[in-house]
Structure 1
Amino acid sequence: MYIGFDYGTANCSVAKIENGQPTLLRLEGDSTFIPSSLAAPTRESVSEYLFRHRGIKPLDTIGEQMLRRAIHVNREESIELEAEDMAFGQAALDRYLDDPRDMYYVKSPKSFLGASGLRDAQLRFFEDLVCAMMDNIKTQAEHQTQQSIHDAVIGRPINFQGRGGETANRQAEGILLNAAKRAGFKQIEFQFEPVAAGLDYEATLSEDKIVLVVDIGGGTTDCSLIEMGPSWRGSSDRSASLLAHKGQRIGGNDLDIALAFKQMMFPFGMGSKMESGIEMPITQFSNPITINNVQAQNDFYAFENLAVLKGLHKQAQEPHKLARLLEVYHESLGYNIVRRAEEAKIALSDQATYRAGIQLFSERVDVDVSRDNMIDAIEAPKRKMIALVHDVVAQAGVKPDVIFMTGGSARSPFLREAVQAELPNIPVVSGDYFGSVTAGLARWAEVCFK
């Protein structure tokens, strides 16, 4: 059996073809989407879980050394790892929020796969993370279909997050490929996510059109200008139909981070001053919430930074605010703050104001955010997204007949209005914001494997 597999930054989903149409499969309870997150007792538990409870071995000696070290560390900590100690999706987030102090939690590992400067051990660790998530998804899909799944078309952005260009893209795709093989997939193909979304839209066309696909995902925004319609449908070679495409390593997560930074870090001391009159260093407020940047997270949560934070607390004119930042450090609450920003962003699409409640262990911090605040906060990442639309049309030298917007953040009326302003008088349409890519990947899998 074959599937389309959208290993997304925010959510994952898979689909099969049933009676000629894509059908998304349930992955967590009744939901066909599972958040891209994982929780475990320790960082080392991921490697041990794969080997001990899933029978998945490392691919090379570096992975084997990591596994031996992981087992040793867990034994030193008196951790006897059980299969149920690993949680995925919403269950992982719930477990983390219940006990962030004693839980290893990771969200959106796809954001890190193209990062520069990763050592071999770090690459193998990300491979383990992705493999554990893919294995869980494959298991859930096989349970629903009562069939073994051997083949998959996996979606990928035009450019992964990372500054290494094609080197970063090859690194990220290599991690996905190795993880999928270890999870049990035999034949694996990749397809660009905006092209996949376009393939699903193409199934609705009764005449050929030039379609601009704008896919605003959690970690990336991709634009593809594609010739689509009955003349192309079912073709195994679509290279001639792809007129232009371009991707930017910026997505819905960046909107959430921008809103968190511009509106939610003031109660934690951002903009406040030390007794000397010098303003607090800005990186101490950006690093904890830049959850898609490995180095920023490492810098903030490093043991050495604790002494720096304590020093800032001691010198602060408003020490109670820095005490909250220390709590963010001790309880690893950066993800929590960004999650509250995401909720505010969604709510402000329909209402003028929103009160975000950030729950600390010691207190609840309420932050009032207006729609105007939100629009101002996301202006910089929004401009980068719209620049992609401009660039891909200029690259092709032809305007689209229709704009197809997909991806979770494409629901934002502010982003849709911005795209419409860039290309006025061209109709903007959408399908399943979250499922179009997955459905298109399943359609491409039918072309590849049937």
Structure 2
Amino acid sequence: MAAIGIDYGTSNSEVVYFDGTKHHFIKLDPNVEQSNKIRSSVFVYYKDDLPRPPVSAIEAKVAQIQRAINDQLEKAKNSYYEAQDPREQRVFSEKIDDLRAQYHNKPALQRQAIQLLLKYMTVQDLSLNQLVETGEFAFGEEGFKRYLKTPDKGRLIYSPKNFLGAHLVPGQKAAFVGMIAKQLAFFRQSAEQQLNQTVDTAVIGRPVRFHGTRGEEGNSQALEIMADAAKKAGFTHVEFLEEPIAAAYKIEPNLAKPTNVLVVDIGGGTTDICCIKLSPEKRSNLNRQQDVLSVTGARIGGMECDKNLIVKSIAPTMGQGLKMLSGLPVPPTYFSDMCAVDDIPRLNHFFSDEYGLDITQTMSIIKESKLLGRLLTVQEEKLSARLVNSSRLAKEMLSSKTEITLPLHYIEADYDVDLSVEDLNRSMKSWLSRVKRLVVECLENSSEAPEMLFITGGMSLSPIVRKQLTQEMLPNLPVIEGDAFNSVCEGLAIQAARL
């Protein structure tokens, strides 16, 4: 039996096994160079026809058909009573009998209702729960490429983790349990095949606070969903560990003496910070909560930077800021709604026919309608996730370049947007202020001052972030160099081995 660490992230996920001496990275995505990392997004799709509509929709359509038959029946009755010729009365009498038979033939009405529903039904009409129960799953780059090729065949859940702490109705909660169970089962099976042994235990990383506005209630819901999904995926023993504490466990063996370390973990969806007492002598201890001096976190991660870069620097080339004939600006909510890939109801609203009609009507009362036409293309072709992904790539490229040209040819031929480090700086300004406030909060809550600083998570590689934290905010704190992408999962694997 083996125990693994699972870093179930907002943007990417990872699985690691620690044998007591060495970390073994489980290959999860053969379509990328670093195959131990896999996109956390899920594409749920249908190869052929959509599934049978839900019973409630069928019954509603049957009732609608019956109302139409009843209207015809009343007209036939009136015509029968008005007819003077017996032969004409006989014709209407036969029609009345036929309509009554149609009205009461429930199986035929249901078949007709299903045909009508399927004729006009799209994937967007299905509930998330029905989608998860009846659709096929594609993970990683395969899923994202399939989404880019046939977005109308399914739905891309850009970051399932971002929804776990949000307000969910019962059906949605069950849907996320089923969806994440599919992912965790894939992770477990991949580990079993590569380790050649049964995997029954997992330590799964968790943020200090899950993405959501429901506080501790949201955190409890998120952990419950993850625990239920892990059980459904075949794990018999699951524990959760805060991600910054897991990162601390990874660097602990390299310390020469007991040290208070400030760990700043900035991931795709959350920023989590802890101040913890680390010591090489304690690395075999299972419970280390007494060594945690303070811990805090918030739902501010790299994805917010991706969306901010769109709103601040890309949206102006799509009509943001234009004035309508009334003198009022084009509704700014168009562009924030366009980026809401982590808010399913809001994104579904953006993709609705009514929303597209609203954008079209706005285009008729502005001068530069071509720019807003780009927004309409994103709306009609459901390109939000692709645009946010392009913004993420731009953000990463601007970490090593001062200027780039971002091609958005999937929106419009020859549509390029020039972006600079200054644009990225401007889009990250308010986000960075919030990150720094979290650091201050953690330091103020700690009974002892940190002696070293460790920055991890994908956003820790940003020169803008590192400069703000190491030079502007904590210039006198020595920095521990480590793996920004793997430290959390390696720490989770260490904890799993202790179990």
Partners of 2:339 and 2:3 in 1: how far apart? 38
Residue 332 (structure 1) aligned with residue 336 (structure 2): no
What is the letter of the counterpart of residue 36 of structure 1? S
The answer for the alignment partner of 2:395 in structure 1 is 345
Query: What SS class does the counterpart of residue 222 from structure 1 fall into?
Result: strand
Pick from 272, 280, 285 the counterpart of residue 335 of structure 2: 285
Deviations, residues 215-237 of structure 1 (Å, cap 9, x unaligned): 00110000000000123211122
The answer for the alignment partner of 1:40 in structure 2 is 44
Residue 144 (structure 1) aligned with residue 145 (structure 2): no
Please identify the structure whose Cα radius of gyration is greater: 2
Pick from 146, 149, 154 the counterpart of residue 98 of structure 1: 149
TM-score by structure 1 length?
0.88
Residue 298 (structure 1) aligned with residue 387 (structure 2): no
Once the two structures are superposed, the pairs formed by residues 78-97 of structure 1 within 5 Å of their partners are 85-97=136-148
Once the two structures are superposed, the pairs formed by residues 14-25 of structure 1 within 5 Å of their partners are 14-25=15-26
Once the two structures are superposed, the pairs formed by residues 376-391 of structure 1 within 5 Å of their partners are 376-391=426-441
TM-score by structure 2 length?
0.80
What is the letter of the counterpart of residue 427 of structure 1? P
What is the letter of the counterpart of residue 372 of structure 1? E
CA-CA distance at 1:375 after TM superposition:
0.4
Note if contact 2:44-2:135 (Cα within 8 Å) is conserved in structure 1.
no
Note if contact 1:244-1:396 (Cα within 8 Å) is conserved in structure 2.
yes
Partners of 2:179 and 2:284 in 1: how far apart? 34
The answer for the alignment partner of 1:322 in structure 2 is 372
CA-CA distance at 1:438 after TM superposition:
0.5
Query: What SS class does the counterpart of residue 306 from structure 2 fall into?
Result: helix
| Closer, same or farther: CA 158–248 of 1 in aligned 2, 3 Å | same
The answer for the alignment partner of 1:247 in structure 2 is 297
The answer for the alignment partner of 1:409 in structure 2 is 459
Partners of 1:432 and 1:229 in 2: how far apart? 19
CA-CA distance at 1:100 after TM superposition:
2.5
CA-CA distance at 1:42 after TM superposition:
5.0
Structure 1 runs (4+) deviating above 6 angstroms are 43-48
Note if contact 1:161-1:220 (Cα within 8 Å) is conserved in structure 2.
yes
Partners of 2:269 and 2:122 in 1: how far apart? 37
Deviations, residues 33-81 of structure 1 (Å, cap 9, x unaligned): 1110111325999999xxxxxxxxxxxxxxxxxxxxxxx99x95799x9
Residue 115 (structure 1) aligned with residue 166 (structure 2): yes
Partners of 1:129 and 1:45 in 2: how far apart? 21
What is the letter of the counterpart of residue 151 of structure 1? T
| Closer, same or farther: CA 19–224 of 1 in aligned 2, 3 Å | closer
Partners of 1:310 and 1:216 in 2: how far apart? 39
Partners of 1:167 and 1:439 in 2: how far apart? 29
Partners of 2:481 and 2:307 in 1: how far apart? 25
Note if contact 2:254-2:280 (Cα within 8 Å) is conserved in structure 1.
no
> Is there any run of 5+ residues in structure 1 with no aligned partner, and where?
49-71
The answer for the alignment partner of 1:437 in structure 2 is 488
The answer for the alignment partner of 1:8 in structure 2 is 9
Query: What SS class does the counterpart of residue 485 from structure 2 fall into?
Result: coil
Number of matched residues? 422
| Closer, same or farther: CA 174–26 of 1 in aligned 2, 3 Å | same
Q: Percent identity?
A: 33
The answer for the alignment partner of 2:313 in structure 1 is 263
RMSD between aligned alpha carbons? 2.6
Partners of 1:168 and 1:42 in 2: how far apart? 32
Note if contact 1:336-1:358 (Cα within 8 Å) is conserved in structure 2.
no
Partners of 1:85 and 1:187 in 2: how far apart? 27
Note if contact 2:19-2:497 (Cα within 8 Å) is conserved in structure 1.
no
| Closer, same or farther: CA 410–78 of 1 in aligned 2, 3 Å | closer
> Is there any run of 5+ residues in structure 2 with no aligned partner, and where?
53-113, 124-131
CA-CA distance at 1:204 after TM superposition:
1.2
